[in-house]
Amino acid sequence: MRKGIVVTAKPGVEDLAAKAEELGYDSFWVYDTPMVNGDPFVGLALCAKATSRIRLGIGVTSPALRSAPACAAALASLNALAPGRVICGVGTGNTARRTLGMKPTTMAALERFTRQLQDLTAGRPTEYSEGERTRDVRFLHVGDYVNTTDPIEFVVAAFGLKAARIAGRRGAGTISFGLLDPAAWQAFGEAHRAGAAEAGVTTPTTSYVMTSMHILADGENPHGDLARDSMGHVAMALLTFAADNPSFLDGLEPDEADAVRRLLDRRGTTATADDRHFVLYENYLGRIYPQDRDLIVPSLVDKLGLVGTPDDLVKRVATLEASGIDELLLQPVLDPDQEMADFARLL
């Protein structure tokens, strides 16, 4: 199993990237959520100058955040700094849009945006529209402003089979957040292969999952405070999504649905309040507040985090790899240097 790191972009992120490269990690990612994180392209430009081997990923951008020409130029500029090391994740902007109080974009827009980025970053023209006006566009740079020679890897954020099928049609890989269910990844694989066959695509692709890890000490409670602190940011992301999207509650277990209701009460908002995004997404993907540990119920620890003894984790990772996951992306929140070292030793 390959291993990567995913963090929020902020000053000093390049030091973590250099450390990850030193520890043998395969990739280093930053999120693209403008209302809660720093700019991913600024962060990865710093990382490009501080590293020489590790691949650099955006996880993930969206047509609801950036126009295709602007995003493609940023990607190709980054590719000039880190030739052949750039990965671009593309999604509907689920979190990024919700932090604005808006809904995600459509699957059709996701597929069109992915195609446009693939075309432009490879030096090909693509169709671009604004309102009723449509034109073919391409890079007009003369000189070494951008790199369209070395390929950029694309992955589609997949939380369902439609996105996985789009990824297959576009010859892109898949990336998901907190999804550690082998059966789901097997279904994603089938949908991805179906999409690829539909489009006649044979390009090899990679599947990534963002997660967290905590190695238990002898006799340590797998649902104790330290385990919850280590993976609580992943669980809180799911609870926040459910609080912001009530239809998602139907798929949760009773104790998880109760945690969502308690989260809304604790933040003093409702699932229909126009300003709920101001309080629901505060400290998003940061270390959870101690007073919120009770919201991280045992079932969420078991489902969303890699928590266990070294032997347990090795077995679980092997099962995930057999289900079709190629690379695990760890988001450290407690002690990044120590967590990166622990994860590197495990894999």
Does residue 276 belong to any structural domain of this protein?
A: no
Domain count for the chain: 1
What is the spatial distance between Cα 6 and Cα 211, in angstroms, rounded to a whole number?
9
**The pLDDT of residue 346:** 87
Does residue 110 belong to any structural domain of this protein?
A: yes
**Measured CA distances, 192 to 187, 324, 325 (Å):** 9, 11, 13
Nearest to 334 by CA among 226, 240, 238: 226
Does residue 98 belong to any structural domain of this protein?
A: yes
Does residue 258 belong to any structural domain of this protein?
A: no
What is the spatial distance between Cα 210 and Cα 274, in angstroms, rounded to a whole number?
30
The token pair at 27 is: 């990739």
State pTM to two decimals.
0.97
**The pLDDT of residue 32:** 96
Does residue 270 belong to any structural domain of this protein?
A: no
**The pLDDT of residue 2:** 97
Quote the Cα angle for 326-34-2, to 5°. 15
143: pLDDT confidence band, cut at 50, 70 and 90?
confident
Does residue 46 belong to any structural domain of this protein?
A: yes
Tell me: pLDDT of 19 over 90. yes
Enclosing domain of residue 209: 2-217+305-346
**The pLDDT of residue 142:** 78
**The pLDDT of residue 242:** 96
**The pLDDT of residue 124:** 97
User: Contact 167/195 with Cβ under 8 angstroms?
Assistant: yes
Find the mean pLDDT for residues 124-138: 97
Q: Which stretches within 57-176 are classed as H helix? A: 68-81, 94-98, 107-121, 161-169
3-class SS at 343? Answer: helix
**The pLDDT of residue 275:** 97
3-class SS at 128? Answer: strand
Burial 179-199 (b: 16+ CB within 10 A, else e): bbbbebbebbbebbeebbeee
**The pLDDT of residue 291:** 97
**The pLDDT of residue 205:** 96
What is the spatial distance between Cα 149 and Cα 168, in angstroms, rounded to a whole number?
23
CATH number of the domain that residue 69 is part of: 3.20.20.30
How many percent of the chain have pLDDT more than 90? 96
The residue assigned the tokens 């600024």 is 42
Q: How many Cβ atoms are within 10 Å of 291's Cβ, its own excluded?
A: 8
Tell me: pLDDT of 159 over 90. no
**Beta pairing partners, 25:** none
Find the mean pLDDT for residues 212-217: 95
Does residue 191 belong to any structural domain of this protein?
A: yes
Note the Cα 303 to chain centre separation in Å.
17
Containing 255, the helix (H) or strand (E) segment is helix 254-267
Q: How many Cβ atoms are within 10 Å of 259's Cβ, its own excluded?
A: 25
Does residue 179 belong to any structural domain of this protein?
A: yes
Q: Is 107 exposed, middle or buried (0-12, 13-18, 19+ CB in 10 A)?
A: middle
What is the spatial distance between Cα 147 and Cα 71, in angstroms, rounded to a whole number?
14
